[in-house]
């Protein structure tokens, strides 16, 4: 074991940035594992109260906290949010010591992650990308599926911490953006399921078939899938709030897939349909509803009457 690997294996403290619907329960599980001491930072400090109560130390001075750690996790919504905290004066690129590891767990574009990885390398820092599959309930239960990519030694050192937040942890190579490609393709595939469900349930309502019963029958006969069942129930019961994943974030992910496909001249007809559907939903005021509200968009298009 070389000196850097040995140093990474002895990491005892880390900084966590991001306490949103996913970041809060993920950080909570990391704290409760007792594997590491955690400092926590969030743009809205009031959201950190549960983490402080669980034993984390609140970081108000981000620059100082970054300079005092060799490991930082970010769980932020998009490229812009990560870019802000990484590239600002006193941010991650500026203050994380050489040899430090940045574990980036949000759903980000592969192109952005490639650029961020290159900037970390120039600073002598290491980027590990570890986006997750799962909604807030799975984050709370510690059962997320995690896709991790980065240098092998860095993955070895952070994998035990990742396993406190989810299992399995799939290691997909040394290029960080590979994990992000898999993540956005997963969300694209799930978007296709939402579109199929939305159209089927709209037609069911028009002909008088019970949406809930249709979901039960299809899951029993064809899918045997908790993902199908859960999203089907959300659509059938029209329980779009509180959102597990906002529609506007679904639009962001579809746009990322389409941009990556455009670079390679790969046609994605379904991507165009999803893009139009999510955009229509946002214009109708559904942007912060669950992205399963695509079902409401298709009902609107078909003139399905709403419950009083």
Query: Which class for 120: exposed (0-12), middle (13-18), buried (19 or more C-beta within 10 A)?
Result: buried
Give the C-alpha separation, 277 to 16, whole Å.
Answer: 35
Assigned token pair, 271: 């991507």
Give the C-alpha separation, 112 to 179, whole Å.
Answer: 12
At residue 62, φ and ψ (nearest 5 deg) are -60, -40
Contact 125/101 with Cβ under 8 angstroms? Answer: yes
Active-site annotation, residues: 183
Residues sharing a CB contact under 8 Å with residue 32, sequence separation 6 or more, in sequence order: 54, 164
Residue 83: half-sphere exposure toward Cβ, Cα within 13 Å: 10
Tokens 């129930």 -> residue: 233
Q: How many CB atoms lie within 10 A of CB 169?
A: 20
């Amino acid at each position: 074991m070389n000196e850097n690997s040995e140093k990474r294996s002895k990491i005892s403290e880390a900084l966590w940035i991001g306490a949103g619907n996913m970041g809060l329960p993920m950080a909570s599980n990391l704290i409760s594992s007792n594997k590491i001491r955690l400092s926590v930072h969030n743009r809205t400090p009031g959201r950190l109260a549960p983490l402080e109560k669980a034993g984390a130390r609140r970081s108000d001075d981000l620059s100082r906290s970054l300079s005092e750690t060799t490991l930082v996790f970010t769980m932020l919504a998009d490229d812009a949010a990560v870019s802000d905290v990484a590239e600002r004066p006193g941010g991650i690129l500026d203050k994380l010591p050489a040899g430090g590891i940045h574990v980036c767990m949000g759903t980000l574009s592969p192109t952005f992650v490639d650029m961020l990885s290159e900037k970390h390398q120039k600073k002598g820092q290491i980027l590990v990308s570890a986006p997750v599959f799962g909604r807030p309930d799975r984050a709370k239960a510690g059962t997320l599926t995690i896709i991790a990519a980065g240098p092998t030694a860095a993955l070895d050192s952070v994998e035990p911490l990742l396993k406190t937040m989810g299992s399995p942890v799939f290691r997909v190579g040394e290029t960080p953006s590979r994990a992000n490609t898999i993540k956005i393709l997963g969300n694209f595939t799930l978007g296709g399921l939402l579109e199929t469900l939305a159209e089927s349930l709209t037609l069911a309502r028009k002909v008088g078939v019970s949406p809930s019963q249709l979901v039960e029958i299809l899951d029993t006969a064809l899918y045997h899938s908790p993902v199908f069942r859960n999203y089907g129930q959300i659509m059938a019961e029209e329980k779009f709030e509180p959102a597990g994943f906002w529609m506007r974030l679904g639009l962001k992910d579809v746009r990322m897939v389409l941009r990556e496909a455009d670079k390679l001249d790969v046609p994605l007809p379904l991507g165009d349909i999803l893009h139009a559907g999510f955009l229509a939903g946002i214009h109708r005021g559904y942007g912060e509803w669950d992205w399963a509200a695509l079902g409401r968009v298709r009902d609107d298009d078909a003139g399905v009457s709403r419950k009083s």
